[in-house]
Chains A and B, each alone.
With several copies, the nearest count.
Chain A
Amino acid sequence: RIGTWKTPQTIQPFFYDRFLPDSMKSQILSFTNPADQKTALLAGSLDMCGTTLAHAIYSASVDQPVVVVAALCNKCSALVVKKDGPIQSEKDLRGKTIGYVPGTMHEILLRETLTRNGISPARDVKLIRVDFFDMGTALARGSIDAFLSGEPFPTLAANRGYGRILSHPYYPDSISTINAGMIVRRNTIDKQPEKVARMVLAHARATRYLRDHPDEWLDKASGFGIRLEVLKAAAPNMELAWEMDAAFVLKAKALGSRMQALGIIDRQPDYDGLFDLSYVRQAQKRLE
């Protein structure tokens, strides 16, 4: 039993069945929120699920026994402004009203962007909390001037004609493009390491397959209800992933330190415990 979002960038679990040994069958459950998935995972209702790295770091910082065993996707964030609005660069955000969802990757990226452009998130802009799903409406109606959120909302806003993607807030020297990963319970690793290995392997294979067959990927994703043209436009900003390496962990550490600075976490988690790269390495060997 695997949990994930019904979004194009987190689609791999829907293909696991093709890549799992016959003895295993996957059942995919969809969620809208990483916390729900993690709770279900910890409560034993799921064997593996997706999560944002921010949420994984938060969970680990409060000693919850989750382990990231693979990456899920990278990139996927975008800063969107009103199409015909005056904002031409990040610097123009000063004094504007920006929508965000507290406690998410996107909040951290937004703050990073603002700070790098010399805008104080606390004083120079007005941040208001808007649910992901309401950002488009709020922007279209003029309630906010900009928002930073995940695909497909930015592309959707652009496609519908009221929004314009201003930039992608990736900074290679810090958080960069990391976004989400797959987690399992620690005791699953302890008790059923082969099962985890097989799931990671299936994940890796599914990811590779979808990378090689973007049409099939987007086709399946459009089955979630997003029009294909939007997906095609968004595809360059969505990177399916499975590999993790030391650089990945470093970026995660950068993310963790930003989170601590914001007061989202009180202390740094044990990154070595949180990220278990061994399954990715095993899978890499198998796939060569």
Chain B
Amino acid sequence: MNRLNSTSGRLNRLLPWFLPVVSFLSWFAVSESGMVPTYLLPHPKDVLAAASTYIFSEAGQGSHAGRFFEDLTASTIRVMSGFGLAVVVGIPLGIVSGRVALVNGMLGMTVNALRAVPGISWLPLAMVWFGIGLKTTVFLVALAAFFPIYLNAEAGARQVSPILLQAGAMMGVNRLRGTFAILIPAAMPHIITGLRLGMGISWAYLVLGELTGVSNGLGAVIMDARMLGRIDIIVVGIILIALIGRLCDLGLHQLLRLSFKSARRMP
């Protein structure tokens, strides 16, 4: 039941690529065999062509040509703003909820009810509140990321062993320092899970945020492609967002490990 030793570092390096490679190969095989027509499942080489047009062509040569870097920048800004907002609101609220029954009593029911509401239902209201454009996008992304961040921070703060807080208190640590020096580090495993989930869902909700009122962005491209039934572009979108999502996930993890001893030193 112990984690296996990483004796064979080589194998470990290759392992993560096993599933992607197998999926790609079977996709390729299915496409080559002609079992599934390309308009249902595009051929990898078509998707590759679409991707290279989207990423590398001169802008203006086709509907999506060369838009990638502009889209990426725009979307990244939106995702990061939304995610950042969710972090700034979600972590403090979650931690306070986890420790103060009063706050939890007040917020808990409402937050846990709203969690279930589909993001798209907020769109009409968000437009009324924020107009169309960046603010609505950021709001929708932040709303989606808020819930996992909040709920994990809350659970994490609730689990913290009272003896650690007592040890801090007897050493004269005030609430503020106690929060940063004890509560957050001790809740770190939960907090990290929440942040990682939040980051993932921020990208996933980008589509919703870019449905209305913005003209560029990866989410907008996916929705355009959907409108047109361009499955090849949708697959390009899936692959690109998966790659970007993975990079953000790694980056976030690294950043947390750099910034917090507890993220570095706990399993």
Q: Report A's interface with B, CB cutoff 8 A.
A: 3, 6-7, 28-36, 38-40, 42-46, 55, 58-59, 62-65, 101-104, 127-134, 136-138, 140-144, 152-153, 156, 160-162, 222-226, 263-264, 266
Known A32-B211, A32-B223, A40-B132; contact A137-B228, beta-carbon cutoff 8 A: no
CA distance A226 to B127 in the complex (A): 22
B175 within 8 A of A: no
| A129/B228 in contact, CB under 8 A | no
**Given the known A-B contacts A134-B123, A138-B213, A263-B62, are A43 and B229 also in contact in the complex, defined by CB atoms under 8 Å?**
no
| Contact of A152 (CB < 8 Å), options: B123, B128, B133, B228 | B228
B170 contacts the other chain (Cβ, under 8 Å)? no
Would A33 and B215 be within 8 Å (CB), given that A143-B131, A143-B132 are in contact? no
Does the CB pair B40–A39 fall under 8 Å? yes
What size tier do the contact residues of chain B reach? 20 to 34
Q: A33-B226, A34-B229, A134-B123 in contact; A140/B39 too (CB < 8 A)? A: yes
Docked complex Cα distance between A65 and B39 (Å) = 9
Q: Binary interface profile of B, 10-44, with partner A (CB < 8 Å = 1, else 0)?
A: 00000000000000000000000000010110000
Bound-state Cα–Cα, A103 to B224, Å: 7
Q: Which of B89-140 contact A (CB under 8 A)?
A: 123-124, 127-128, 131-133
**Residues B64 and A40 in contact, CB atoms below 8 Å apart:** no
Contacts A44-B131, A65-B39, A162-B39 supplied; 10 other A-B pairs, CB < 8 Å: A28-B215, A39-B229, A40-B131, A40-B212, A103-B228, A132-B227, A134-B212, A137-B127, A143-B133, A161-B37
Minimum Cβ distance to chain A for residue B47 (Å): 13
Which residues from chain B contact A34 at a C-beta distance below 8 Å? Answer: 229
CB-based contact B228/A264 at 8 Å: yes
Given the known interface contacts A129-B215, A162-B37, the answer about A141 and B224 at a Cβ–Cβ threshold of 8 Å is no
A160 vs B220: C-alpha distance when bound (angstroms): 24
CA A223 to CA B40, docked complex, whole Å: 23
Let me know if A32 and B227 touch, CB within 8 A: yes
The answer for the CA separation of A160 and B128 in the assembled complex, in Å, is 16
Also in contact, A141 and B127, with CB within 8 A (given A42-B37, A42-B40): yes
Q: How far is the CA of A36 from the CA of B124 in the complex (A)?
A: 7
- Residues in A with CB closer than 8 Å to B128 are 39, 43, 137, 141
Q: Which of A33, A42, A153 contacts B39 (CB 8 A)?
A: A42
A160 cross-chain contacts in B, Cβ below 8 A = 39
Contact between A140 and B124, CB atoms less than 8 A apart: no
Q: How far is the CA of A223 from the CA of B62 in the complex (A)?
A: 6
Q: How far is the CB of B192 from chain A (nearest CB, A)?
A: 35
A23–B225 Cα distance when bound, in Å, is 35
For the complex of A and B, 5 pairs with smallest distance between CB atoms: A35-B229, A225-B63, A64-B39, A45-B131, A143-B132
Give CA–CA (A103, B40) in the complex, Å.
Answer: 20
Q: Report the bound CA distance from A64 to B233 in whole Å.
A: 16
Whole-angstrom CA separation of A59 from B226 in the bound complex: 13
| A59 partner residues in chain B, CB cutoff 8 A | 39, 229
